[in-house]
Structure 1
Amino acid sequence: MSTHSITTQKVNFRVFRFNAGDDYLPYYENYTMEVTSEEVVLDILNRIKWDFDGSFSYRRSCRHGICGACAIKVNGRSTLACKESMTTMIDWFGTDLTLEPLSIKRAVKDLIIDKGDFWKKHDAIHPYLISHIDEHPEMECAVTPEQADELNDADLCIQCGACHYACPVVEVNEDFFGPAAFAKAYRFEADVRDDAHITRLEELHEEKQGLWDCVKCFECAEVCPKEVNPIDKITKLHQMLFKEGVATSNVATRHAVGFKHSIAKHGVLDEGGLVLYSEGPAIIKHIPVALKMFRKGKIVMPWAIPKSDNLDEIQQLIKSSSTVKF
């Protein structure tokens, strides 16, 4: 017999409300209720609809963390409502919780959003296997366990959109593919059966929409309910761009290479030298900021950059891990 005891806490929920057909501006309504330690966020959404306001709208389907339909934000954090325990939410944020859609500017009805931009970018990276195969093969196309492992769990993505709408670049750059699309792209780039390897990489290399506009904030890894870790896939795609010879010389690629050169030379990062290497003569536009950084000790003169005590070891690590010249 289970000895687990059910506990309750009084929680106030500040809930985003909006109907694009009737409301000019969104507003928030407060609902206070006793929450048990057995409930998840989706249970709260159901109770608000069933016990307080039948017009309250949100998406839900499988309740098993598979379909991704119920993704919302709790206190600004993207989360899968059917997966997150209320006990965890209270531990993190306290007993005053704000429930909002993944993207307020895309809200259609309460917590329901228009995910058109998400699916457009998802489709843009050709999220399917492209292979020239015999229509009547004599044997199956076998993939070894080692080759399957190269997918690195990218195939676990459920397209919930949690990472996409948590990404700060998506919020300000409507052309940026976003972390979910990149994770899906990696899933097929890593598949040995795919024949569109270079074509897909060339599209991912494009400025403004592609990989180089990622700001490495790791928010996508933080919120992913399936632990796909999109930033890890983005890093691997960066490496593929260099390995396959797709990367061309631009500010972003020079920044990556300059980072490596700086660490190899000093064992620490020369931030001023990195900007100069990346942008060349265009560095003049950064002079006002550079002066402020210099006064704060953020950057130093080239001859004053300290050398790491472990420089030899660092250089050996860089040499052993560098497989591509650029």
Structure 2
Amino acid sequence: NAMSKRVESWIHTDHETDIAKLEEKVEPEVAQEVFELDRCIECGICVASCGTAIMRKDFIGAVGINRIARFQIDALDKRSDEDFYELIGDDDGVFGCMTLLGCEDNCPKHLPLQSKIAYIRRKLAAQGKCGCGK
């Protein structure tokens, strides 16, 4: 779908996978966190209940930011925070969220959407990026 393409919702790596061998090892804590975020069924309820999305039609919403958080923590994805900033580091992305909590309040899977939005916002802000054009 369009959101998956917009946030490039796939593993980015230059590693050649040999399907005849075992998968690469991932720390259990990281695997559990990725699994938790992968529980999103992309139903759109978070976007439908988002005040920002209602006012700004191009806002990516919690579902898109959740997908970015999922790939940002995945050790197999080799993208940098700068790469993620290019995808959602503006007012239509993570810096547009007004933290009204409609997304998390209405998520049928009870995902930690607000903490992941805050996590991604901090990761991008730590690079001196604020989404304000400065």
* TM-score category of the 2 structures, normalised to the smaller one: 0.7 to 0.9
TM-score, normalised to structure 2, is 0.85
Bigger helix share:
2
Query: AA paired with 1:242?
Result: A
Q: Which residue of 1 aligns with 2:55?
A: 172
Residues 122 and 231 of structure 1: is their aligned pair in 2 closer, same or farther, counting only changes over 3 Å? farther
Residues 196 and 225 of structure 1: is their aligned pair in 2 closer, same or farther, counting only changes over 3 Å? same
Matches within 5 A, 1:1-326: 119-136=1-18, 140-151=23-34, 153-198=36-81, 199-206=83-90, 208-243=91-126, 245=127, 247-248=129-130, 250=132
* Deviation of the 1:181 alpha carbon: 0.8
Deviates more, 1:151-160 or 1:133-142: 133-142
Indicate the structure (1 or 2) with the bigger Cα radius of gyration: 1
Residues 231 and 190 of structure 1: is their aligned pair in 2 closer, same or farther, counting only changes over 3 Å? same
Query: AA paired with 2:63?
Result: A
Q: Matches of 2:22 and 2:96 in 1, distance apart?
A: 43
Q: Is the 8 A contact 2:89 2:131 kept in 1?
A: no
Q: Which residue of 2 aligns with 1:62?
A: none
Query: AA paired with 2:103?
Result: C
**How many residues are aligned here?**
132
* Deviation of the 1:246 alpha carbon: 5.7
TM-score, normalised to structure 1, is 0.37
Q: Is the 8 A contact 2:95 2:131 kept in 1?
A: no
* Deviation of the 1:132 alpha carbon: 1.4
Moved segments of 4+, more than 4 Å: none
Unaligned residue ranges in structure 2 (runs of 5+): none
**Bigger relative CO (Cα 8 Å, ≥ 6 apart):** 2
Taking only aligned residues, the RMSD between alpha carbons, in angstroms, comes to: 2.3
Query: AA paired with 2:66?
Result: A
Q: Matches of 2:46 and 2:80 in 1, distance apart?
A: 24
* Deviation of the 1:121 alpha carbon: 2.7
Unaligned residue ranges in structure 1 (runs of 5+): 1-118, 254-326
Cα offsets for 1:112-168 (capped at 9, x unmatched)? xxxxxxx42342011111111124376531101022234372111001111111111
